Structure 1
Amino acid sequence: MAGRIARWGAVLGLGALWWWAVARLVLAPGAGVLEGTVAAGGWGLSLLPVHCVPEARAEGTLGAGRWRRAWRVWLRG
């Protein structure tokens, strides 16, 4: 339970920090490198593939060695 609370606290705190940086970049004429770095870093984290599964468990993946076998068949013609 404590881990879940700490995780949500970190998520909400970092989310608030990101929104503060974006708001300062848009609204404050004196916003600088710190705000830009925080905003760009948060946006970059959103590009991480957090919904990935291991290749062995993913649907539609090819088994180990399948490409090698297909290449050999193609080379034999």
Structure 2
Amino acid sequence: MARPIVRWGAMFGLGVLWWWAVLRLALAPDAGVLEGAVAAGGWGLSLLPVHCVPKARAAGALGAGRWRAAWRGAQVTTASPLRRSDAGSGPS
């Protein structure tokens, strides 16, 4: 019970701090670097993705060892090389 209260309290406090900085930048002629840093930092945090899931649970996620296996050559292509124009006809 204490964790959600602390979390909501921290979010509310940081939100009030951000709004104070934004309003002070907009309305006070003597607003300075501190208010600008708080406002820019809060805005930057809002750009972070909030709908993230661990890679293992993400839809369409690739396996952890995919690149290692590719570099080791575990899956070699079976495509045939392109023929040159003077190579003659292909197999019939």
TM range (shorter): 0.7 to 0.9
Identical-pair percentage: 66
Q: Which runs of 5+ in 1 are unaligned?
A: none
Q: Give the structure 2 partner of residue 15 of structure 1.
A: 15
TM-score (norm 1): 0.79
TM-score (norm 2): 0.68
What's the Cα RMSD here? Answer: 2.8
Matches within 5 A, 1:18-33: 18-33=18-33
Bigger helix share? 1
Structure 2 Cα separation of the partners of residues 73 and 18 of structure 1:
55
Distance 1:73 1:19, change over 3 A: same
Find 2:77's aligned residue among 53, 56, 73.
Answer: 73
Q: Which runs of 5+ in 2 are unaligned?
A: 82-92
